[in-house]
Amino acid sequence: MRFSGFEQASIEIFSTRLKVVMVLAVVTFSALILRLWLLQVVHGPDYRVQSESNRIQLLDIPPFRGMIFDRNGDLLVDNRPSFDLFLVPEDIQNRRDLAEHMDRLIGLDAGYVLEKLAGESSRYGFRPIPIKKNLSREELAVMEANFFNLPGVAIQVKPRRHYVMNDFAAHLIGYLGEISDRQLKSGHYEDGRPGDLVGQFGVERIWQKELQGTRGGEQVEVDAAGRRLAVLSRKPPTAGANLALTLDKNLQLLAEKALSDKKGAIVAMNPMNGEILAMASAPSYDPNMFIEGLERAEWTRLTTGKDFPLQNRAIQGQYPPGSVFKIVMALAGLEEGLIDPQESVFCGGSFKLGGQTFRCWRKQGHGRVDLHRALVESCDVYFYTLGRRLGVDKIAQYAKMCGLGRASGFELGSEKEGLVPTSEWKLRRFGIPWQPGETISTSIGQSFVLVTPIQMAGLMGALFNGGILYEPRVVKWVGKEGQESYRFTSRQGGKIKAKEEHLALIRDALIGAVNEPRGTGARSKIKEGTVAGKTGTAQVVSLEREKAFGKEEDIPPEFKDHAWFVALATAENPVLSIAVLVENGGGGGAAAAPIAGELIKAYLNGAQGSRIAARRDPAE
């Protein structure tokens, strides 16, 4: 059949168009195949994870932190359930609407919610972001009632640290705080995640690894709105180890009560092994505040306020020791053979060196005094005379042997060393030679000398235990379910290398300071046993400046003397060494000695009860 020219042209056009359609079809199907290959083969695993994440959520189950007890098994720190509010960014349909809705429901600032989402959602994807911890019952009820209208909202029950007795032993136990980016990057928190609360101070920090436990997790099936449908699998968490302190709760409470309206510190130790039986620092703080979350103003008050409540004055407060330092002076003089115990020095109320006059605390003087009377009545002139014979460098040698001017080895760290000056130290520090008058001031614990209460408690114990300076310890055991990972053992941190007859002379004088007529520590005397002790009154400002105020009652509180008393009980059977420091408290005999007496009396009366209660060991 023959086609006309017109028909031939039509066939050619149709054939061309058919080829174009076929090419387009091939290209289209090739593009679809390529797209399917990219979706299923190249990006398939990523989309599969996202798909599963839309259906399955991985929820963290934090462990219960280990509990903390006192030495007799009384509970000090435990955990309580906390209902915490979280948001899952990928399940939120409209962030602004959700934020405003939550603001109306429970007063949660919409701007804060949006800021939290913007800052963390890109980093954590489908991981729940903590928004508010410890919802109240009313807030929880409101959220539960509106849960189906709040896609992306989740509530998790988590353990919340609870300090049972609020500020009890806060400087020892410490507190928890949200883990910082620096801590996360440090490598010391292997299982740490943003939002975790970790130990930031005290026992909570030092024993963080043992206390924290091991976290668990859940695979939870959810719907498109993020609502929980079913639990697919669950790995339970493992609770942290429990911990018992060496503290005696009753003695600690009494020490804190004694300082309730004061600034200062009390340290009570077992002189035979270094166990801390009480450690109080005032003012204090409530660790529960850190769990709730602190306002900026409150944090500023805690960290920069003039009272420094976060400072543990027992180990970080550095004070002139005043007349307590005469113990060191007496030991140095005896060991160096520069004094005879029977030798007497006349005290007329003052001591002259060159053009300077140094006063004794007793204006009319003490008359003729030997070493025993000088310690019992705390005669300054006797020790001025001894200090001139010894010289500052020899004084420093014995002070350091007695544990001053260096850390005691306290297991929680953060300890200040104090200061024992030498002639070389002053020249290096100030570029000025040591002056003879400075030795005179040093001999009664003034000038540049600084000590901490824990050092003085350790020194007092060493005088009666054979000269051993034990490292102070505050943790008795760590463990759970009858298995201990740690049990207290004493550690020797130094030794007072002195003749026993010399130590005996000093011990006898310290007993006299409490129990003999005119003894400066008489207010610590008790019927329950023989107390040995030494008072100290440490000047904060010079005598000339004190006199400028006129009457004693006109001296501003911050310029009044610090009051010291160090003691041991009983002299026959040492069970308690104690240091009491009352900042700006005045005379040690009047302000500090009565406190020590009450603590010693209470401890001796309760010691039998404590031994009976000690059988209640929560680790068993």
- Catalytic positions are 323
Tokens 């493992």: give the residue. Answer: 238
CA distances from residue 536 to 385, 391, 539, 612 in whole angstroms, order as listed: 19, 21, 10, 36
The Cβ of residue 356 has, within 10 Å, a number of other Cβ atoms equal to: 12
C-alpha–C-alpha distance, residues 564 and 581, integer Å: 5
> Which amino acid is present at 338?
L
CA distances from residue 594 to 429, 454, 591, 599 in whole angstroms, order as listed: 39, 19, 7, 9
Are the C-beta atoms of 76 and 172 separated by less than 8 Å? no
The answer for residues whose C-beta is within 8 angstroms of residue 380's C-beta and 6 or more apart is 323, 347, 351, 358, 359, 360, 361, 444
Angle formed at CA 327 by CA 521 and CA 546, multiple of 5 degrees: 65
225, 229, 230, 233 alpha-carbon torsion, rounded to 10° = 0
Angle formed at CA 340 by CA 338 and CA 344, multiple of 5 degrees: 110
Give the largest Cα separation in the chain, rounded: 154
The Cβ of residue 270 has, within 10 Å, a number of other Cβ atoms equal to: 21
CA distances from residue 105 to 100, 139, 484 in whole angstroms, order as listed: 9, 8, 48
Are the C-beta atoms of 358 and 447 separated by less than 8 Å? no
Strand blocks (E) in 225-307: 228-235, 242-245, 264-269, 276-282
Count how many residues are written for the chain.
620
Nearest to 408 by CA among 279, 564, 257, 591: 279
Displacement of CA 43 from its chain's centroid (Å): 51
Which stretches within 67-109 are classed as H helix? 95-106
C-alpha–C-alpha distance, residues 364 and 518, integer Å: 14
